[in-house]
Structure 1
Amino acid sequence: MSTDTARRLVESMRELLWERGYTGTSPKAVLQRAGAGQGSMYHHFSGKADLARSAIDATAAEMRAKADAELSGPGPALDRLAAYLRRERDVLRGCPIGGLTQDAELMADPALRAPVTETLAWLRARLAALLTEAVACGELAPALDPEATAAALVATLQGGYVLARAQGSPEPFDQAVAGVLGLLSAFGG
Structure 2
Amino acid sequence: MYSALMSMNASERLIEATRELLWERGYVGTSPKAVQQAAGAGQGSMYHHFAGKQELALAAIRRSADELGAAAEAVLGVGGSAYARIEAYLLREREVLRGCPVGRLTMDPEVIAHPELRAPVEEVLGRVRGRLAEVVQEGLDSGELRSGLDPDAIAASVLATVQGGYVLARATGSRAPFDSAVRGLLTLLAPPTRTP
For residues 109 and 155 of structure 2, what CA distance do their matches in structure 1 show?
26
Q: 1:106-138 CA deviation, whole Å, 9 max, x = no partner?
A: 111110000011111111101000100111111
- The share of aligned pairs that are identical, in percent, is 58
The answer for the alignment partner of 2:5 in structure 1 is: none
TM-score normalized with structure 1 length: 0.95
Paired position in structure 1 for 2:75: 70
Query: Is residue 135 of structure 2 the alignment partner of residue 130 of structure 1?
Result: yes
Distance 1:19 1:122 in 2: 24
Q: Is the 8 A contact 1:131 1:146 kept in 2?
A: yes
Give the secondary-structure state (helix, strand or coil) at the position aligned to 2:18: helix
**Cα deviation, residue 74, structure 1:** 2.2
Q: TM-score, normalised by structure 2?
A: 0.92
AA aligned opposite 1:182: T
RMSD: 1.5
* Matching residue within 118, 122, 125 for 1:113: 118
CA shift, 1:73, in A, is: 1.5
In structure 2, the partner of 1:59 is 64
User: How big is the shift at 1:186?
Assistant: 6.3
Q: Which amino acid aligns with 1:50?
A: E
Structure 2 partner of 1:101: 106
Structure 1 unaligned blocks of 5 or more: none
- Aligned partners of 2:45, 2:193: CA distance in 1, in Å? 56
Output aligned runs, 1:4-153, within 5 Å. 4-153=9-158
CA distance in 2, matches of 1:61, 1:188: 36
Structural mapping, 1:168-183, within 5 Å? 168-183=173-188
